[in-house]
């Protein structure tokens, strides 16, 4: 079947309250689908899937309209938008979740428009694995599935997560999460164990150390673009994922898609929330991509 470049992106859409050593911001546009859609939408036609409450701000709506192919699969429901609060430790990497209010996400039962369910690429960004599976089941054209997750689901819904991993082609996962999931500290062994569960490739995101891709016969690593001030790391993984998928959908190699994701993530962390992602120029992006090896 011929692959098109259409990408469906599922994840959270929310309002974040974030505290880092550079300050505190409340009700920032956030959520895994938000970061991924903006990153992907810079290049390709991303179709986000999610739910928002009737308190969702207009500027958030405008951003989605700008970066998405269509927003027909974002449901607006009476009630409160998903909210998450996090506070980063002094080291800038580790963080504590202060609150998670699911709001309208609690009873979200997505129904994907028939046309959009034809997408050739599906990025299941971090959200409850049952919801990821629900959306995947509606995808009618045997898409390439890229999934992300978080430690919460490894701990609370391991069986649902394993079913999802089984249907995934490329799993994106943080270093600490893959160790937790497999109980193996050697990444190569851990990746092999996950590949035996279904995926052909595992991409381990290692924060300031870059990212590594493991597949049956190959290993690939990509460095980071060093930024002088990490103001807010929130969403970097989702931006990596959105940029990475957009590269694959355009026909870029795995390596170049990883470099694109990495370069975009370097912009994300330079300011709070999605701010820095909204006005990236093509020149500055190309400069960063080219300097990543």
Nearer to ligand AMP, 152 or 278 (CB): 152
Q: Which listed residue (8, 20, 25, 30) binds ligand AMP by CB under 6 A?
A: 30
Nearer to ligand AMP, 51 or 222 (CB): 51
Instruction: Based on the shown chain and the rule CB under 6 A, indicate whether residue 127 belongs to the binding site for ligand AMP.
Output: yes
Nearer to ligand AMP, 73 or 234 (CB): 234
The CA distances from residue 78 to 24, 51, 52, 75, 81, in Å, are: 28, 10, 9, 10, 9
Closest by Cα among 25, 19, 145 to 86: 19
Nearer to ligand AMP, 20 or 234 (CB): 234
In angstroms, give the least distance from the CB of 167 to ligand AMP.
19
In angstroms, give the least distance from the CB of 4 to ligand AMP.
27
Q: Which listed residue (20, 32, 37, 163) binds ligand AMP by CB under 6 A?
A: 32
CA distance 132 to 9: 10
CA distance 204 to 191: 8
Strands (E), the chain: 7-10, 14-20, 23-30, 46-53, 74-77, 82-88, 95-101, 121-124, 144-148, 170-174, 201-205, 211-215, 219-222
Closest by Cα among 116, 128, 2, 133 to 49: 116
CA distance 87 to 80: 22
Strand partners, 144: 121
Subset of residues 134 to 173 that bind ligand AMP, contact rule: CB under 6 A: 152
Nearer to ligand AMP, 116 or 238 (CB): 238
In angstroms, give the least distance from the CB of 238 to ligand AMP.
5
Using the rule CB under 6 A, give the single segment among 28-36, 51-59, 158-166, 250-258 that binds ligand AMP. Answer: 28-36
Subset of residues 40 to 79 that bind ligand AMP, contact rule: CB under 6 A: none
Nearer to ligand AMP, 53 or 235 (CB): 235
Total Cβ atoms within 10 A of residue 240: 29
Q: How far apart are the first and last CA of the chain?
A: 33
In angstroms, give the least distance from the CB of 17 to ligand AMP.
10
Subset of residues 203 to 242 that bind ligand AMP, contact rule: CB under 6 A: 234-238
Q: Which listed residue (43, 56, 64, 84) binds ligand AMP by CB under 6 A?
A: 84
CA distance 175 to 212: 10
Q: Which listed residue (31, 92, 199, 261) binds ligand AMP by CB under 6 A?
A: 31
Count of helices and strands (H, E) across the chain:
10, 13
Subset of residues 90 to 119 that bind ligand AMP, contact rule: CB under 6 A: 100
Contacts with ligand AMP by CB under 6 A lie at 12, 14, 16, 30-32, 84, 100, 126-127, 152, 234-238
């Amino acid at each position: 079947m011929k692959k098109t470049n259409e990408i469906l992106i599922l994840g959270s859409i929310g309002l974040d309250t974030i505290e880092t050593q550079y300050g505190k911001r409340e009700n920032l546009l956030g959520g895994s689908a938000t970061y991924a859609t903006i990153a992907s939408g810079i290049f390709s036609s991303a179709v986000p899937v999610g739910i928002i409450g009737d308190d969702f701000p207009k500027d958030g709506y405008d951003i989605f309209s700008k970066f998405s192919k269509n927003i027909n699969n974002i449901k607006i429901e009476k009630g409160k938008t998903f909210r998450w609060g996090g506070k980063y430790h002094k080291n800038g990497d580790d963080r504590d979740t202060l609150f998670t209010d699911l709001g309208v996400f609690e009873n979200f039962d997505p129904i994907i428009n028939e046309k959009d369910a034809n997408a050739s690429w599906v990025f299941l960004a971090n959200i409850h694995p049952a919801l990821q599976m629900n959306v995947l089941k509606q995808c009618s054209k045997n898409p390439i599935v890229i999934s992300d997750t978080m430690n919460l689901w490894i701990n609370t819904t391991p069986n649902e997560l394993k079913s999802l991993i089984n249907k995934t082609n490329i799993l994106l996962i943080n270093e600490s999460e893959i160790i937790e999931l497999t109980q193996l500290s050697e990444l190569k062994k851990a990746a092999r164990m996950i590949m035996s569960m279904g995926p052909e490739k595992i991409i381990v995101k290692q924060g300031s150390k870059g990212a590594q891709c493991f597949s049956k016969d190959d290993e690939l690593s990509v460095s980071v673009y060093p930024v002088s001030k990490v103001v807010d790391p929130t969403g970097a993984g989702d931006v990596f994922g959105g940029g990475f998928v957009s590269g694959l959908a355009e026909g870029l190699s795995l390596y170049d898609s990883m470099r694109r994701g990495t370069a975009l993530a370097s912009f994300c962390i330079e300011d709070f929330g999605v701010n820095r992602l909204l006005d990236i120029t093509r020149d500055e992006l190309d400069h960063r991509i080219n300097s990543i090896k």
